[in-house]
Structure 1
Amino acid sequence: MSFPNESTGTTGRTGFSRLTGSGSQSRSGRRVRALARAEFVLFGRNRTAVLTALLVPLALPLTARPAIDRGDLKGNLGAVMLTAAIGFSFLYAVYTSLVSAYVARREELVLKRLRTGEPTDMEILGGTALPAVCLGLAQALVLAAGCTVLLDAGAPKAPYLTVLGLLTGVSLSAALAALTSAVTRTTESAQVTALPLVFVSMLGSGIVVPTDLLPDRVAAVCAFLPLSPAVRLVRAGWTGELSAYDAFGTVLTALAWTVVAVFAVRRWFRWEPRR
């Protein structure tokens, strides 16, 4: 289902309308905050989603510590594990939790009712995503501190790259979640429809297996997976192993994926229950 326009929309308004003027922007901010507060309350009531979003990424530094104590792994393990933990945060704190949230709100007719009021489409989607995005960013700060202390990751050599990686990672994860919800029929099947991107990203984007351990041709292909640029920027921010030219290309790739994902959401996001 495409977003309704002025000639075909069922709600009589244009999808993703823009607000102008300081007063409109202020009202928009209040609406987004109100939606985000409500979504945060609903998210907190889903214990399974909370535990999955919190424990999976935060457990990685602790599980890796015994290997360091035995001396099995050396070198830049701290940076590798930090990258993995933040990558898991993209996938679980933001992506999978938001797929379930969008589907649940759609099937409960919450999205349809919201569209009959003042909030614009972007406000509805953004307000729903804001708690998960904030959770992902908060986890990143905790993980950075935990890996620095527990895994001797050290200070980031190019922190601006890590910041770019975090921002592009959570933004793209949220957009991909909205897109995945369009092909998800029920909240029970949300975990299934999210699995392909989760597995592909874990194996090919440098989250579980660092891309420098992959064959050159495989690594070259995997560099263009949706979350690969964000993960690469996060790791490069700690190791400083990315030249300015490569960093610029990586950022452009991340932005390109974000633009494509937003366009796809505008085209195919479903506001009404699937029958």
Structure 2
Amino acid sequence: MAALARAELTLLGRSRSTLLSAVLMPLALPFSFRPLIDDMDVQDVGLTTGLVLLPAAIGFSLLFGVYSALTAIYTVRREELVLKRLRTGELRDTEILGGTALPVLVTGLVQSLVLVAASTAVLDMPAPKAPQLAVLGLLLGLALCAALGALTAALTRTVESAQVTPLPFVLASMMGSGVTVPLEMLPDRVASICELLPLSPAITLVRGGWTGDLSAYEALGPISTGLAWTVLAVFAVRRWFRWEPRR
């Protein structure tokens, strides 16, 4: 797995398009949304610009740096028969998928730490009041996006279409998971539905980790929802992931 991860890291550095979408875009996009956030009345729901922008930045990192990037990587490796050849060796299926995803997951983790440091410096963010919830939300988001990336790759026929197939989940998460618009600002009925979206638990836990508004009991809901989606995605990958191109 270590050798596979090193090879994937080398290939990631050589692919300009993947590097742009996985590294640079998640770092640049959040701050372009700051004027929009400044126009929101976030103070009415007890939030600040920083408490909206930081979870949004981490959400963009998960969506573009992990989910979309892994969808493209898995699709390319399958179409080039790399996954099929690896399967003839000693590595198990989970080790192949995990080793392939490891560099992207580490990149997403480092990106999130950089975004936290930048938000603290630029937006004068306080220290998180419940850091364990923020860490749990980030790890849950990384695991979920990795599994969903593999699942989306299974539904993607060609390398070219890998730029399109992630869009429905990306757009739904941006609009309904609290990435661009906090769930606290939505009508109660709409917010209760959006809380069930796959990425919503991660964003809720990250924001709750900074605000400290989530009690242990209240955090059980997002944690359970996030774990359920992750288990469901892993099961779907084990059932339907394709290891060679469609003929």
Per the shorter chain, which TM-score range? over 0.9
Task: Tell me what 2:7 maps to.
Answer: 38
Q: Which residue of 1 aligns with 2:149?
A: 177
User: What is the TM-score normalised by the length of structure 2?
Assistant: 0.94
Of 122, 146, 164 in structure 1, the residue corresponding to residue 94 of structure 2 is 122
The verdict on how the C-alpha distance between 1:237 and 1:199 changes in structure 2, with shifts beyond 3 A counting, is same
Matched AA of 1:33: A
- Return the TM-score normalized by structure 1: 0.84
For the 8 Å contact 2:29–2:60, the answer to whether it is kept is: no
Could you tell me how far apart the structure 2 residues matched to 1:238 and 1:178 are? 31
Task: Confirm or deny that 1:254 pairs with 2:226.
Answer: yes
Aligned partner (choices 57, 60, 66) of residue 88 of structure 1: 60
| Superposition RMSD in Å | 1.9
Taking only the aligned residue pairs, the percentage that are identical comes to 65
| CA deviation after TM superposition for structure 1 residue 56, in Å | 2.3
Match of 1:232 in 2: 204
* Equivalent in the alignment of 1:47: 16
Return the letter of the residue paired with 2:186: L
2:235 — aligned with what? Answer: 263
Give the equivalent residue in structure 2 for 1:98. 70
In the TM superposition, what is the alpha-carbon distance from 1:65 to its structure 2 partner? 6.2
Distance in 1 (CA, whole Å) between partners of 2:37 and 2:119 is: 12
**CA deviation string 1:36-75 (max 9, x = no partner):** 11111111111111112222221245446678999x9765
List runs of 5+ in structure 2 lacking aligned partners: none
Per the alignment, residue 154 of structure 1 pairs with 126
Provide closer, same or farther for how the CA distance between residues 64 and 152 of structure 1 changes in structure 2, counting only shifts above 3 A: farther
How many residue pairs get matched? Answer: 244
Shift of 1:109: 0.4
C-alpha change, 1:62 and 1:196, in structure 2 (3 Å) is closer
The structure that is helix-richer by fraction is 2
Contact 1:61–1:151 (8 Å) recurs in 2: no
Deviations along 1:176-198, one digit per CA (max 9) or x if unpaired, are 00000111011110111100000
Q: Secondary structure in 2 aligned to 1:117?
A: coil
Matches within 5 A, 1:166-245: 166-245=138-217
| 1:204-224, Cα deviation, whole Å (9 max, x unpaired) | 000011111111111101101
Residue pairs, 1:49-68, within 5 angstroms: 49-60=18-29, 62-63=31-32
Mapped partners of 2:233, 2:211: distance in 1: 29
Give me the whole-angstrom Cα distance separating, in 2, the residues matched to 1:145 and 1:228: 23
User: 1:19-52 deviations in whole A, cap 9, x for unaligned?
Assistant: xxxxxxxxxxxxx111111111111111111112
Task: Report the CA distance shift for 1:165/1:68 in structure 2 as closer, same or farther (over 3 A).
Answer: closer
Moved over 6 A (4+): 65-70
* Closer/same/farther in 2, CA of residues 261 and 67 from structure 1, 3 Å limit: closer
